[in-house]
Structure 1
Amino acid sequence: MNVEQRVAIVTGGGGGIGSALVARLAREGARVVVADLDADSARAVSERGNADHPGSTVSAGADVSDTVQIQQLIALAESSFGPVDLYFANAGIAGAPALDASERDWDLSIDVNLRAHIRAARLLLPRWLKRGEGYFVSTASAAGLLTQIGSATYAVTKHAAVGFAEWLSVTYGDRGVRVSCLCPMGVNTPMLSAGKDSGDALGRAATQAVMNAGDVLEPDDVADAVLAAVADERFLILPHREVLDMYRQKGADYDRWLRGMRRYQSSLLEQA
């Protein structure tokens, strides 16, 4: 899909990958609703976008795991620019370490990392099916293809996000709905250091594992990869090429891969 003159919503748009996506979309001629739980951050990103590309963005503070607030974002996009063409389900949280996660931790991770995608899709799909086109971009993680040392809530919900994106593509891909799923490893955002600063040995091991696995990319690099995939209408977006090799190794011999992950985790915990 060519994003020029298209209308997009970017969740988690107040920083990190989200703000880089907003900037890149505005540069490519799209019109963007910047959504973030932090309304001030969303507003600042929008103001930067409009300074460079006048009239290209509006912002809203929103909890994008809430159906009513997603409806409000869609209404804002429609009143400001027109029907929504692309939805970037980018908001996410790092989650709690190990099995120490409470029921509330699990509920929050499932809501933000998974149900936010489901709820947005439920609202957008009828519109897109009627028009015969639409594009859903899910930000998951390499943890959704491999796994995540440390955080069960993150590993499980990111696997689920990949699964939901796959299901959307299989179910609606022949009816004009395009789907892409972003699965990066280390990106230079506050989420990368969340485990390191958690005070938990598994959390520190999780951050170290990601940083050891490949280069830590800048959000702008990831945004470039996302827009290239959208232009090609390609499902799987892997800014870190190593992830594909790791994924193939996992599928080729699952038990060997699990043994290797346990050994790697043990070595990291010794250093933590």
Structure 2
Amino acid sequence: NTIYISGLKIDADKDAAYGDIEVQVSGDGITDQDIIVAKYADYGSEVSVKDEVPTVLAGRNNADTKDLKTAEILIKEEVAGSWLSNRDVQIEFPSWVKVVGYEISGVKGFAAGAEDALKAKFNTEIKGDSNEIELNNLPGQAAGKTREFKVKFYVSTKADAQGDITAKFSGKAGIDGEVVVAKAVAPVNVDIAKANVKTGIKNQAIGNVTLTEAAKGALVKDGKVELRLTDGVKFSEKPTVKVVEGNL
């Protein structure tokens, strides 16, 4: 025999613990067991990065290169209806970052046409001159569905910037969270052998200056590397430059 029970409703106390809601089944001729029938959760958002964050070379500004791509960010409702439709979402990167492009995927749980609407909003906001994005009028949900989408960004940083690149989500729509999406490193590491020089004496030797790429291809073909001395100091003759490793 089979018994079906439907239409049950659950009231949760204000101090109930979040997590799975189980029903204990027992009785004569029935195998005792606990069955998960629901999950108790609060309204909220998940903003997360699952993969290892990539390294971005500082000072690059070519939106077509994979060197500028961040890790993929998952933005997801914890419970259906957590986000307020037609409200704004702000995404903020560090002040030394400019957002130059994006890729969106995995759009689920939204009303019809949401993916195109989200792309249109990103296209309007991303001009390559700002570290902030504001998405107005977040699309609504499909009935009873939890909304989510994934996005990767292309970012350019100042030439002297180094450190974690974060994306901070906020706004009246209810999407909140901050994640590290990439790490900025200098294109080259500079090692200088220090030497003592005296004021007023010409032709003094300084230590070797060694430039090493932080990653393969960090030095751009046909590009330029400048070595500048401080004010009041100049080269007494043309320095000797040689490649000690690699193919330049």
Q: Same fold by TM-score, threshold 0.5 exceeded?
A: no
Higher normalized helix content (fraction of residues)? 1
Larger Rg belongs to: 2
TM-score by length of 1: 0.26
TM-score by length of 2: 0.28
Q: Which structure's relative contact order is higher, taking Cα pairs within 8 Å and 6+ residues apart?
A: 2
